[in-house]
Chains A and B, each alone.
Chain A
Amino acid sequence: MEHKKAAKKPKFTITYIGILIALLVGLIALFAVLAEGTILKPSVLFGLTENVTEVGLMALALTFVITTGGIDLSVGSTMALSAVMLGMTYETTNNIALAIFVSFLTGLACGVLNGVIIAKTKIAPLVTTLATMSLYYGIARIISGTNIFSTYPEGFTFLAEKKLFNIVPYQFILFVVFYIIFALFFYRANIGRYLRAIGYNEKAAKFMGVGVGTNKFFIYTLTGLMCSLASIIYLSRLPAAKPDIGLNLNLEAITAVVLGGTNIMGGVGSVSGTFIAVLILGVLRKGLQLIGLGGNIYNFILGILLVICLIGFSYLDYVKKKRLRN
């Protein structure tokens, strides 16, 4: 099959997605063998998607961000802060609708702060989100003190309890819906092209007429909103709001995006890849738990996985560049 170097993106993505799907199925098979088939029980297989939604929503938004060559380290903290704000609002006002609204408002505010700084000033996303990561986490800690906000109304945990056909968790359906929405925008709408252009060469994109500032502002704000959505889903599953909630999710989300085929330097992005990668990570985590390796082993493997992916893609980039030069 002739590899056309220039217009290779769509073909490349499909092939890589094929690899990802194969990896997913392979992992399920592996854990089925290792854990005596437990993972194949539909309650388990679909059950694992419960945790996947939170990371997944973040990862979808992060795909947009990383495609522009940026990064957002504050996703975990934004989620935590939104959760804490929700818990606190409900505890003080007993109005769940208000609490949810406040939670979204928090996510929006966090995203807006990131977006304004990144889009309007020359400050790199790295520093900005590094600082806001600390800031949001800090605010969450200040607000909570030593409390855990665990009072919620009766129906709040419905997302976690009820399932479609008693098997497929509603959260997963939510995740799939958002995936479709994000994918549509990314692959078919202008914004997808703009983001890829910004990531590839920001100055050129600007000269092409792409509203770099506007787009950047938008994606960081969107990320903030997705984080608060994720926090609501998390709380419906584990109704205890405390500042530590999303701390590790930074790594998971970024790993999912990179594993999914999005280039960390920007320019190439794959929302579908992120979707499957999130599922892969979910299977990985569940499988490890089933064979008794809970705790931090998952994070450890995640770290190594991220490093391997980064090295792998970096090497591929290098090879590509070399071939182009010849």
Chain B
Amino acid sequence: MMAKSSKIQGEANNRFNPAKILNKEMVLGIITLIAFVVLYSLTNFKTEAGLTTFLKDVSYLLTASIALTLIILTGNIDISAGTMMGLCGYAAAYVAKLGYEFYVYIPVAIVVGVLLAGINGIIITRFKVPSIVATLAMINVHLGLFILLPSGGWVENLKSNFTFLGTTTILGFIPIIFIISLVILAFFLVFMKYSRFSKKIYAVGGNNHAAVLAGINPDRVVMQLFLLEGVLIGISSILFYTPKTIVQANSTYGMEMLFITATVVGGTSIMGGKGKLVGTAIGVVLVSIINRAMIFLGFQDYYSNAVQGVVILIVVLLAVIDLKKLKQYLRRILSNNQQTVRRENS
């Protein structure tokens, strides 16, 4: 299960010494492994129930973080991902309550996700509104939609046609939603390594103008990524809500901070152009472990916000400090190498 931290080299950016990148992910992976072992040895975690709950938490976090990572790679951001997920989940639950099966309500969730994310995409690409403000505004539009929804965004008493996905397990403790998220992760790892589209993503995020000169249409890439985000968020909403019997659209409010934290911890730069999905995957596991540990140690919810804030700050600061030192280091060591240090402006 921890094979995620293996040496898959995704579509790497060639700004840095590949050896350095390997170290980064390896270090992260090792930290995660240690954390996992520590957590495992705490009583609660050893039980089947504990492990299962953990894997369930990781599932939706993973899919949603992949979505956020893709967006962030292009230098954009989507802080409405949380509320979006709530609306997708509500839509799916509503349809499920009416009696439809999974092959109906899952596409419904996905369609809602694509629609909402598509709106974000249009505002950002077509109307050139900076993504931070656009998605900030959209959060409140989503919240407003909650009120307009029947029964204020709640769906209660969900039956097995909805909950079976969330409760079925393989081998007694591996939830199928976890398997689903692993499949999606695998798909995207392959996608990022082999497809041409992924190169475009890095190009757009790294240097927008250069990308245009290279014949890439950044708007199109970003728009497509938002649509992709919609699909992934739709799926995440299913992974998040099916273990529950009551669906409240506003319970995912603020969750995008988790996704962003996982992404940033995993080594993706908020400015875009740098980062790997493998890192995000590890980040997801690490963040889940920290969350679990905090709950277990009795810290309750209160600390999560502060911790997330601090984590993002530390990671981002480290990245910046790293860059400068790295530049000097590289200049000294690789003085006769052709590699020019490109301008790190974002």
Question: Touch between A and B in complex, CB under 8 Å?
Answer: yes
B 206-224 contacts with A by CB, 8 A: none
Task: Report whether A310 and B309 are in contact in the complex, using a CB–CB cutoff of 8 Å.
Answer: no
Provide the residues of chain A in CB contact with B313, threshold 8 Å.
117, 128, 131-132, 135
Main secondary structure of the interface of B (DSSP, over half): helix
A130 at the interface (CB under 8 A from B): yes
A145 at the interface (CB under 8 A from B): yes
- Please measure, in the bound complex, the distance between the C-alpha atom of A122 and the C-alpha atom of B271, giving whole angstroms: 11
B92 at the interface (CB under 8 A from A): no
Contact of A123 among B132, B134, B305, B317 (CB under 8 A): B317
Provide the residues of chain B in CB contact with A297, threshold 8 Å.
144, 147
Task: Report whether A137 and B305 are in contact in the complex, using a CB–CB cutoff of 8 Å.
Answer: yes
- Known A296-B140, A304-B137, A310-B137; further 10 A-B contacts with Cβ < 8 A: A126-B132, A127-B316, A128-B313, A131-B310, A141-B305, A141-B306, A300-B145, A301-B144, A310-B127, A311-B127
A31 at the interface (CB under 8 A from B): no
Closest-by-CB residue of A relative to B77 is A126
**Interface 1/0 per residue, A12-47 and B, CB below 8 Å:** 000000000000000000000000000000000000
Give A residues with C-beta under 8 Å from B: 71, 73, 117, 121-124, 126-128, 130-139, 141-142, 145, 248, 250-251, 254-255, 258, 264-265, 295-297, 299-304, 306-307, 310-311, 314-315, 317-318
B 61-78 contacts with A by CB, 8 A: 77
Task: Report whether B144 and A318 are in contact in the complex, using a CB–CB cutoff of 8 Å.
Answer: no
Shortest distance between the CB of B101 and any CB in chain A (Å): 33
Q: Name, among B77, B133, B146, the residue most crowded by chain A CB atoms within 10 Å (CB to CB).
A: B133
- Please measure, in the bound complex, the distance between the C-alpha atom of A315 and the C-alpha atom of B129, giving whole angstroms: 10
Provide the residues of chain B in CB contact with A265, threshold 8 Å.
130
Provide the residues of chain A in CB contact with B34, threshold 8 Å.
none
Provide the residues of chain A in CB contact with B145, threshold 8 Å.
300
Contact of B309 among A124, A133, A304, A307 (CB under 8 A): A133
B296 at the interface (CB under 8 A from A): no
Provide the residues of chain A in CB contact with B306, threshold 8 Å.
134-135, 137-139, 141-142
Provide the residues of chain A in CB contact with B198, threshold 8 Å.
none
A138-B304, A138-B308, A318-B128 are contacts. A307–B141 as well, Cβ < 8 Å? yes
A126-B77, A132-B313, A306-B137 are contacts. A300–B143 as well, Cβ < 8 Å? yes
Provide the residues of chain A in CB contact with B304, threshold 8 Å.
138
Task: Report whether B137 and A251 are in contact in the complex, using a CB–CB cutoff of 8 Å.
Answer: yes
Closest-by-CB residue of A relative to B312 is A131
- Please measure, in the bound complex, the distance between the C-alpha atom of A231 and the C-alpha atom of B77, giving whole angstroms: 29
B 117-165 contacts with A by CB, 8 A: 123, 127-130, 132-134, 136-147
Q: Name, among B134, B140, B303, B309, the residue most crowded by chain A CB atoms within 10 Å (CB to CB).
A: B140
Task: Report whether A264 and B309 are in contact in the complex, using a CB–CB cutoff of 8 Å.
Answer: no
Provide the residues of chain A in CB contact with B316, threshold 8 Å.
123, 127-128, 131
Closest-by-CB residue of B relative to A143 is B302
Provide the residues of chain B in CB contact with A296, threshold 8 Å.
140, 143-144, 146-147
- Please measure, in the bound complex, the distance between the C-alpha atom of A297 and the C-alpha atom of B310, giving whole angstroms: 33
B17 at the interface (CB under 8 A from A): no
Task: Report whether A127 and B312 are in contact in the complex, using a CB–CB cutoff of 8 Å.
Answer: yes
Task: Report whether B134 and A304 are in contact in the complex, using a CB–CB cutoff of 8 Å.
Answer: no
Task: Report whether A132 and B143 are in contact in the complex, using a CB–CB cutoff of 8 Å.
Answer: no
Provide the residues of chain A in CB contact with B133, threshold 8 Å.
71, 254, 258, 264, 306, 310
Q: Name, among B77, B137, B145, B317, the residue most crowded by chain A CB atoms within 10 Å (CB to CB).
A: B137
Shortest distance between the CB of B283 and any CB in chain A (Å): 15
- Please measure, in the bound complex, the distance between the C-alpha atom of A135 and the C-alpha atom of B308, giving whole angstroms: 7
Closest-by-CB residue of A relative to B308 is A134
Provide the residues of chain A in CB contact with B147, threshold 8 Å.
295-297, 300
- Please measure, in the bound complex, the distance between the C-alpha atom of A311 and the C-alpha atom of B127, giving whole angstroms: 6
B270 at the interface (CB under 8 A from A): yes
Shortest distance between the CB of A37 and any CB in chain B (Å): 27
Provide the residues of chain B in CB contact with A300, threshold 8 Å.
140-141, 143-145, 147
Q: Name, among A73, A124, A258, A303, the residue most crowded by chain B CB atoms within 10 Å (CB to CB).
A: A303
Shortest distance between the CB of B261 and any CB in chain A (Å): 8
B 92-134 contacts with A by CB, 8 A: 123, 127-130, 132-134
Closest-by-CB residue of A relative to B302 is A141
B346 at the interface (CB under 8 A from A): yes
- Please measure, in the bound complex, the distance between the C-alpha atom of A131 and the C-alpha atom of B308, giving whole angstroms: 7
Task: Report whether B123 and A303 are in contact in the complex, using a CB–CB cutoff of 8 Å.
Answer: no
A-B contact pairs, 22 of them (CB 8 A): A126-B77, A127-B312, A131-B309, A134-B257, A134-B312, A138-B303, A138-B304, A141-B301, A258-B133, A296-B140, A299-B143, A300-B145, A303-B139, A303-B140, A304-B137, A304-B144, A306-B133, A306-B137, A307-B138, A310-B123, A310-B127, A310-B133
Shortest distance between the CB of A154 and any CB in chain B (Å): 32
